[in-house]
């Protein structure tokens, strides 16, 4: 679970984490003190430092409880071969405010009703902040992760294409496959392998030039074997596999630079013709 969670964390989230911690401890402490003063008309409510400590203890207990509950649900789902990430997260969000309230109830020495009234402002504010920052960090992280998955899938497919084409080349006494469809016809892989995540609407999303596998045994060769077609991934870049079998993801500018190298002159000319409107 934690390894997969790491795929959604990025350095640019650190400022958001700082804002959250500051709001949780300092802002939450002030809100708790203000709530005690307003709801209970206490002339001398606890000091800010004491309220900050209360919020720290309540928030820490809530976070631990939510983490434990989410982890248990996730493990149950994993053993049942079911992804329960969303139910785990929603259950944790329901458990956390309850635990925070129970901790404040124990610390404030008030009745259950008074504690609930007092806790609504600081805990409610913390929940609202969690939702806002969670959306601000989570939505871009999900988009970035999906892009990474698409890129990795494209590179995997390109590697399969290279491996199958080299195998066909060797079995047919140095005759390369005429096109990628031939590899499907010869049952080297399923037709889905030819579909690029960057161009999901096309049956064949990769370009391959039928030439002898010259340079396939040279690990330093920069000759392109196959690549994504133009327009993949919104123009952000392309997946490429070299004749050596090395896959790489290149931004469009870097791809054009590679395409302009002398070894790729024939490939570049054929690619431009294939991509011409």
Tell me the average confidence (pLDDT) per consecutive run of 10 residues in the chain, 277 residues long: 60 85 86 82 74 89 88 80 73 87 87 86 85 84 84 90 84 78 83 81 84 60 88 84 90 92 90 86
The pLDDT value given to residue 13: 82
Q: Is the dihedral of CA 98, 100, 103, 107 positive or negative?
A: negative
3-state secondary structure of 235: helix
Can you give the pLDDT at residue 250? 92
Cα(55)–Cα(30) distance, integer angstroms: 10
- The pLDDT score that the predictor gives to residue 66 is 86
Q: Are 197 and 154 in contact (CB under 8 A)?
A: yes
- Predicted TM-score (pTM) of the model is 0.70
Strand-pairing partners, residue 228, are: 206
Half-sphere exposure at residue 190, Cβ-oriented, CA atoms within 13 angstroms:
2
Among the listed residues 151, 117, 101, 149, the one whose alpha carbon sits nearest the alpha carbon of residue 40: 117
- Which residue matches tokens 């392109």? 224
Q: Any residues with CB less than 8 A from the CB of 241 and at least 6 apart, and which?
A: 155, 158, 159, 161, 162, 224, 225, 226, 227, 247, 248
The count of other CB atoms within 10 Å of the CB of residue 58 is 28
Q: Answer for the pair 119, 102: CB distance below 8 angstroms, yes or no.
A: no
Residue 2: what pLDDT? 46
> Could you state, in order of their start, the residue ranges of all structural domains in the chain?
2-110, 149-275
What b/e string do you get for 233-247 counting C-beta neighbours within 10 Å, with b at 16 or more? beeebbbbbbbbbbb
- 250 φ/ψ angles, rounded to the nearest 5 degrees: -125, 140
CA angle 256, 258, 259 (to 5 degrees): 60
Is residue 199 classed as helix, strand or coil in its secondary structure? coil
pLDDT for position 219: 65
Residues 199, 5: Cα–Cα separation, whole Å: 28
Q: Please report the pLDDT score of residue 248 as a whole number.
A: 92
Question: What pLDDT shows up at residue 59?
Answer: 87
DSSP letters spanning 249-271 = EEEHHHHHHHHTSGGGHHHHHHH
């Amino acid at each position: 679970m934690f390894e997969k969670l790491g795929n959604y964390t990025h350095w640019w989230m650190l400022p958001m984490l700082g804002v959250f911690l500051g709001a949780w401890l300092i802002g939450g402490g002030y809100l708790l003190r203000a709530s005690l003063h307003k709801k209970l008309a206490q002339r001398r409510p606890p000091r800010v430092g004491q309220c900050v400590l209360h919020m720290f203890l309540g928030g820490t207990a809530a976070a631990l409880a939510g983490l434990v509950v989410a982890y248990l649900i996730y493990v149950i789902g994993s053993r049942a071969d079911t992804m329960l990430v969303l139910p785990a997260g929603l259950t944790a969000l329901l458990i956390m405010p309850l635990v925070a309230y129970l901790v404040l109830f124990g610390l404030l020495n008030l009745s259950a009703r008074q504690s609930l009234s007092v806790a609504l402002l600081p805990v409610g504010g913390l929940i609202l902040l969690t939702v806002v920052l969670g959306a601000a960090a989570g939505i871009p992280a999900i988009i970035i992760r999906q892009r990474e998955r698409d890129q990795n899938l494209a590179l995997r497919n390109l590697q399969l294409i290279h491996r199958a084409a080299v195998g066909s080349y060797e079995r047919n006494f140095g005759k390369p496959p005429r096109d990628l469809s031939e590899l499907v016809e010869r049952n080297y892989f399923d037709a889905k392998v030819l579909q690029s995540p960057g161009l999901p609407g096309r049956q064949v999303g990769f370009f391959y030039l039928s030439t002898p596998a010259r340079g396939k045994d040279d690990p330093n060769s920069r000759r392109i074997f196959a690549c994504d077609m133009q327009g993949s991934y919104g123009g952000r870049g392309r997946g490429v596999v070299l004749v050596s079998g090395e896959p790489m993801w290149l931004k469009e500018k870097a791809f054009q630079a590679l395409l302009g190298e002398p070894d790729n002159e024939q490939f570049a000319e054929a690619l431009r013709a294939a991509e011409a409107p």
